[in-house]
Structures are given as C-alpha cells and as structure tokens.
Amino acid sequence: MTPSRSNPTARPVRRRSVLALAAVLAGCASYQPLPLPTGHQLHDSVADLDPAGCDTGGALDIDTVVRLALANNPDLRAARARNGVAEGQLLQAGLLPNPSVTGLFTPVMAGPGTASAWAAGFGTDLRSLITLSSRRDASAAAARQISASILWQEWQTAGKVRLLVIQRDGDRQMAAVLRETKVLLDQRYRLTRAAVAAGDADLTALSPDLTALGDVDKQIDDLDRQSQTRRHDLNALLGLRPGAEIKLRPVVEPPPVDAAAVSEDLDSLADRRPDLIALRMGYAAEDAKLRSAILSQFPALNVGLVGGTDDNNITTFGPQITLDLPIFNRNQGNIAIERATRLQLREEFTARLAAAEGEASRMLDDIVLITRQLPPLRARTAEVWQIAAKAGAAFDAGNLTERAYVDFLAAHLARQQELLVLEQSLREQQAGLATLIGAGMPVVTLPRDSE
C-alpha cells in the first residue's frame, strides 16, 4: 500500500490562509486591565505637586498658583480624559461600513438532484455611505465641543484660584487690622475698669467697651473660620490635603480696568469664551445630525453580487439589490427630533450669550462705581489717621487722656477696615470680570469650517 502524500498545491493555499488570518488578528485590539487606584490621592505639600515649570521653593505668587492648579487639579485631569473618548468617536464615525458576505450550502439528501447546491453573495449598505460625511462632521464638531468645554473648565478653575488667593490676602490684611483693634479696645476697657474702681466713673461706662470688645472678637472668629474654608477650597483645587500649607506672596495691585477694552472684548465674546464656543460646536454637531437624518430618508439599499449552483449543477451569477419600501417610516420622527434639538441649542446659545454680556456689563458698572468711591474713602481714612496722630502728640504732651487717645485710634482702625472691604470688593470684581471676558486666559481659535 502506497503511503499517502499531501497535495503540494495545497501548501501555498494553507500558508496564505494562515498569513491572512494573522494579519486580521494583528489589526484587532487587545484587552489590557486598568485597575482603579487605591489609597490616598491628595498630596501632602506643594513640593509633591507637578511643578508645571514653576519654582515652588518659596512663597508663591498668584500666577504660579494658577499654573499649579491647572496642572494638578483632579477634576481637570478627569475632564481631559474626555478628549480620548471624543477622538475614539471621531475615529468610529469616519470608518467605512463593513461589507457583508453571505453563503449557502445544501447537499442533496434525496431526490433527483445530481450535485450539492451552494450560493455566495457580497454586498454593502449604500445608505451608510450616503450619510458618512454628515456623521463625520457631527463627530468632529462634537470633539471640538468637548475640547472647548474642557478649556472653559480650565478658565473657571483659574478664575476660582485667583479669587481665592485674592480673598486669602484680604483676610490676612483684615486679620492684622482686627487684632490691632482688639488690642486698643482691650486697653480702653482696662482704663475704663480702672476708672470705675477708682470711683471716677460708674459701672454703666463699661457696657460700651464690653460690647465693642465682644464685637471685634466675633469678627476675628468669623474671619478665622472664613479664612480656613478658603484655604481648604484652594487646597482642593490644587489636589492638596485640607491641612497642607501654601505660602502666598502678597497680591500685587491689578492695573485699572480699561472700560473701552472691556467693551471691545464683549463685542467678540462669542468668539472668545470657551463655553460659548462649546455651544457653537454643539450646534454645528446637531446641524450635521439633522442633515444625516434628512439623508437617512433615502431607503435602506444593499447592493452586491451573488452567485452559485443548484442541485442540477447549473451555475448562476449576477447583481442583488435589497431595498426598503418607505411606506410607513420615512425617518420623520428622527428628523423632527433633530430639528427641535437644533432649535433648543440655538436658543440656549442665545440665552447664554445674553447672560454673559449682562453679567460682564454689571461687573464693569460695579468696578466703575467702586473706583469712584475709593479716592474719597482713602482721603477720609488719611484724615482720620492725621487726627489720631495729633491726638497722640497731645497725649504725649499731657493734654489728652489716654482713653480719648485710644478712641481716636479705634476710629481710625474702623475706617481702615471699611477701606479694606471696599478694596477687596474691587479686586474680586476685577478677577471675576477677567474670567468672564478671558483677560489673561489662553486664546481660543474657532475653526472656520464650524460656522
């Protein structure tokens, strides 16, 4: 008996089949586990943060703190991961639809047939090709929308950091004035108590001193709690533990606001603010979805080629068409949904733009008002200080009682507190306006094809 030998012509066929299978598998994605982090995620000190190219060795100015927050804020890092999702969606939208292959094999089990029948077909969906461009445009606009939304989140984070640093600096200045005021009020209380003990004043004279001393103690306690809350909020924005210490430099006085420049920025607000640009990108994506829905009225059409043999060994080959009859469903519902969604986004953009312009204009009016109120208040504060200085000279010469001298100093400190509050309000309004109009923020470029 002769040993069987394999067919030499089958080897190249098997080799090519194996290579084709390997090529297909090489293009497939593989699974890689990505375990969730465990343990503490907040940093213990500024030195543990990503420095973002900054010198974090000493006291930090406001711009350095902003850069550290943009590099280390946990919410921003999570938001930036959305870009990867958008890129994946854009990639998927740009892929051509896969063709379909059909096959049929029916061996003769009984009857007059002389051969096994088989059939094979190849086809593709034409409607998917028709809507490919609009779906790709929608995904591209959606990806730009996510990028603009992330940038707006960065703007807001930077604005919050600036505001908190300004507020903490104001708390520091106010704390110094309040503690100095407390020292003077405590000194006045001791003098009054001594006068009551000596019989030079009755007991009712102590009541105003006790009330004033209690008020300033309450202000100090309230300020301590407020300052701690702001410190915790700032640490959270930087990804630090609540108890971590940040050494801050005194805030440099910002330049005066140029009302004319702000008005020009308001005119181009829709082209500059990332949240408005994100809405424009969302509107562009929805407009593309509406075009896709309208194109989807085209009936589902699958065209291809089919061939085979029947059980009598008769071979056939020719085109094949599968067509939906648009009798009941012409995609009217989806078209109506996309039209209504586009209108909703248009009205939302209009409302957001109006609100942004109104809020920025209101802040500008407040800044103009406070700027007008500050010079006379500073003049009055300086005048009270001059009176207190003269009172000090009179006290040193023995022409003024110590209690009267302390009263003059307390009046000066009260006026100084009023001035600090108004200056702090001006700096906060300036920081808020800068965030609204994008002063000092990254420039946003609107793609021309998104209009």
Give a yes or no: residue 318 inside a domain: no
Give a yes or no: residue 223 inside a domain: yes
Q: What is the mean pLDDT of residues 246-257?
A: 85
Local structure of 272: helix, strand or coil: coil
Q: Is the pLDDT of residue 222 over 70?
A: yes
Give a yes or no: residue 173 inside a domain: yes
Total structural domains within the chain: 1
Give a yes or no: residue 19 inside a domain: no
pLDDT digits over 86-100, tens only? 777 777 777 777 788
pLDDT digits over 66-117, tens only? 889 988 988 888 888 877 777 777 777 777 777 888 888 888 776 676 778 8
HSE-up (13 A, CA, CB side) for residue 372: 6
pLDDT digits over 3-25, tens only? 444 445 445 545 655 555 555 55
pLDDT at residue 442 in the model: 55
pLDDT at residue 9 in the model: 46
pLDDT digits over 127-178, tens only? 787 888 888 888 888 888 888 888 888 888 988 999 999 999 999 999 998 9
Give a yes or no: residue 363 inside a domain: yes
Closest CA to 254 of 318, 166, 186, 336: 166
pLDDT at residue 221 in the model: 94
Q: What is the mean pLDDT of residues 269-298?
A: 87
Q: Name the more confident of 306 and 449.
A: 306
pLDDT at residue 315 in the model: 84
In percent, how much of the chain has pLDDT > 70? 89
Report the distance separating Cα 411 and Cα 394, nearest Å: 17
Closest CA to 164 of 71, 74, 65: 65
- Whether the CB-CB separation of 408 and 388 falls below 8 Å is answered with yes
Give a yes or no: residue 283 inside a domain: yes
Q: Is the pLDDT of residue 187 over 80?
A: yes
- Whether the CB-CB separation of 87 and 123 falls below 8 Å is answered with no
Four-residue CA torsion sign, 160, 165, 171, 177 = negative
Give a yes or no: residue 367 inside a domain: yes
Q: Is the pLDDT of residue 394 over 70?
A: yes
HSE-up (13 A, CA, CB side) for residue 233: 17
- Whether the CB-CB separation of 180 and 413 falls below 8 Å is answered with yes
Report the distance separating Cα 317 and Cα 119, nearest Å: 9
Report the distance separating Cα 399 and Cα 105, nearest Å: 121
333 Cβ partners below 8 Å, 6+ apart?
none
Residue whose tokens read 């001035």: 419
Report the distance separating Cα 137 and Cα 126, nearest Å: 18
Which among 14-28, 245-259, 421-435 has the top mean pLDDT?
421-435
Q: What is the mean pLDDT of residues 239-259?
A: 86
pLDDT digits over 224-241, tens only? 999 999 999 999 999 999
Query: What CATH code is carried by the domain that includes residue 67?
Result: 1.20.1600.10
Where on the phi/psi map is residue 189: left (φ > 0), alpha (ψ -120 to 50), or beta? alpha
Its domain, for residue 145, covers 60-95+131-296+331-445
| 3-state SS, one letter per residue, for 151-169 | HHHHHHHHHHHHHHHHHHH
Mean of the per-residue pLDDT values for the chain?
82
Closest CA to 134 of 339, 289, 284, 283: 289
| Residue 157: both structure tokens together | 């984070």
Give a yes or no: residue 340 inside a domain: yes
Whole-number CA gyration radius for the chain? 38
| Backbone phi and psi for residue 433, each to the nearest 5 degrees, phi listed first | -65, -40
In percent, how much of the chain has pLDDT > 90? 22
